[in-house]
Structure 1
Amino acid sequence: MSLPIYPAGSPDASGTPDAISAHVNLDQLYDPPSETIVKGVMPHLLSFHVAYLDVATFFCLATGGAQGLDASPRGGEPGFVKVLDEKTVGFADWPGNNRIASLRNLNEDDRIGMLFLFPGLEVFMRINGHARIAVDPVLLAQFKEGERTPKTVIVVSIDEVLFHCGKAINRAKLWRTESHLDRKAVPSIGDMKAALTGMDKARVSEIDAGYYRAVRGDLY
């Protein structure tokens, strides 16, 4: 089923101009943040930020460039995002799908956003700042995993760090076992690859098995 696409500024199905092109007075719609929330936005790391980074295993990375915006997942052992000083953190870039969209964006636009999720906890942490791609061997060695050394490390200069309430986690029931999806409820990686390439559907199980071997075993 195809979905209708309305050009910016054109009426939607109800005849109302789309919200993207129309100016919305957000201050009339939303209450201002509390004083505690405002004071919680810091220009540098405090001890409790470091404590959370020491246990962090996952974050989503946001970047932008001439080709558009990108958001990608990043994960590792607790503390894989390292504190370099109170204004700076860094993380290794490990193999993924080789689109390297985030790195290409950072070569054009150094702005970066990081959204940390903490399994089992009902809070997010966010870091916004500017980043550079480092290839210095001494720095790369600090981010080794076993015998593997990353090709690059992203060094982030912090503009602001803050905690974000976990209402979205509870709306999604994210950490609840009953929220886990049955893999058979959606097309598998093999199903999607067959649809995209026209390959023989008899190979779906083989592709699925290969995917899970790689995604679980070839981490670095």
Structure 2
Amino acid sequence: MEIFNPKPEFAIRDEEALRGLFEPTHALAIQKCQNTLGRHAQEFIRRSPFLCIGTQSSNGSADVSPRGDPAGFVKILDERTLAIPDRPGNNRLDTLVNILANPNVGLLFIIPGFDDTLRVNGTATLSRDPGLLERMRVNDRVPKLAIVVTISEAFMHCAKAFRRSHLWNPEHFQDRSGMPSLVKIILDETTGAPADASAMRKIDDDLEADYKRTLY
């Protein structure tokens, strides 16, 4: 694939040039931003089984990580504080290390079947409070720590992106077999996947077994 080099004459370099491309936002888009969780935002969070958390490292590199559990897994501690359990993963710890270096986080809460989303921005700390972790127990296992977020901004986000993408429309669902398995993709891009199909199936089966064993 040929390397793409953006033409500098078309680059947007300041906010004035950016805003000149768009109509002014309407007042409600500004007024909807709240610094606490109202009753509707709280209900949205209680219904949500999935969120994405955006963080930045000390040098400014960005990261977005998915988090999922049974609906209500994020605990509302008060109208300005949330707690997110940290479940077992691959131990890269990208999100957690970033929070230690730069506490600013952005959350996007998603509910299956809902086209609108809830955005929450704030600052995060990492907590090992036993009482808090006990509230997050699933399958008799408590998380090692919780991400505690102090909210600075919360607002509902409109449905346009989800409607454009037809995310929840079964007619637009894609067949997962159209791409290689997760493990094969990783092996293809690193050490190389085995050419023998049965060996590759064994690796895929091992991953599925690991999912079942280490989900919590």
TM-score with structure 1 setting the length:
0.89
Structure 1 contact 194–204 (Cα < 8 Å) conserved: no
List structure 1 runs of 4+ shifted beyond 4 angstroms: none
Give the distance between the partners of 1:115 and 1:76, measured in 2 at CA: 15
Q: Tell me which residue corresponds to 2:113.
A: 120
1:101 aligns with 2:100: no
Q: Tell me which residue corresponds to 2:128.
A: 135
Q: Tell me which residue corresponds to 1:197.
A: 191
Structure 1 contact 191–201 (Cα < 8 Å) conserved: no
Deviation at 1:204, TM superposition (A): 1.4
What does 1:1-220 align with in structure 2 at a 5 Å threshold? 1=1, 3-6=2-5, 12=6, 15-17=7-9, 19=11, 22-23=13-14, 25-66=17-58, 68-195=61-188, 196-202=190-196, 203-215=199-211, 218-220=214-216
How many residues are aligned here?
Answer: 211
* Letter aligned with residue 103 of structure 1: L
Structure 1 contact 115–126 (Cα < 8 Å) conserved: yes
Q: Tell me which residue corresponds to 1:9.
A: none
Q: Deviations over 1:39-88 (max 9, x none)?
A: 11000011111111110100111000135111010011111011000010
Instruction: State the SS of the aligned residue for 2:140.
Output: coil
Q: Percent identity?
A: 33
Give the distance between the partners of 1:216 and 1:167, measured in 2 at CA: 35
Structure 1 contact 57–78 (Cα < 8 Å) conserved: yes
Deviation at 1:205, TM superposition (A): 1.2
* Letter aligned with residue 43 of structure 1: N
* Letter aligned with residue 82 of structure 1: K
Structure 1 contact 189–211 (Cα < 8 Å) conserved: no
Give the distance between the partners of 2:200 and 2:177, measured in 1 at CA: 13
Which protein, 1 or 2, shows the higher relative CO under an 8 Å CA cutoff with sep ≥ 6? Answer: 2
Q: CA RMSD in A?
A: 1.8
C-alpha spacing 1:215/1:178, structure 2 compared with 1 (3 Å) = farther
* Letter aligned with residue 209 of structure 2: R
In structure 1, list runs of 5 or more residues that go unmatched: 7-11
In structure 2, list runs of 5 or more residues that go unmatched: none
* Letter aligned with residue 195 of structure 2: K
C-alpha spacing 1:121/1:166, structure 2 compared with 1 (3 Å) = same
* Letter aligned with residue 29 of structure 1: L
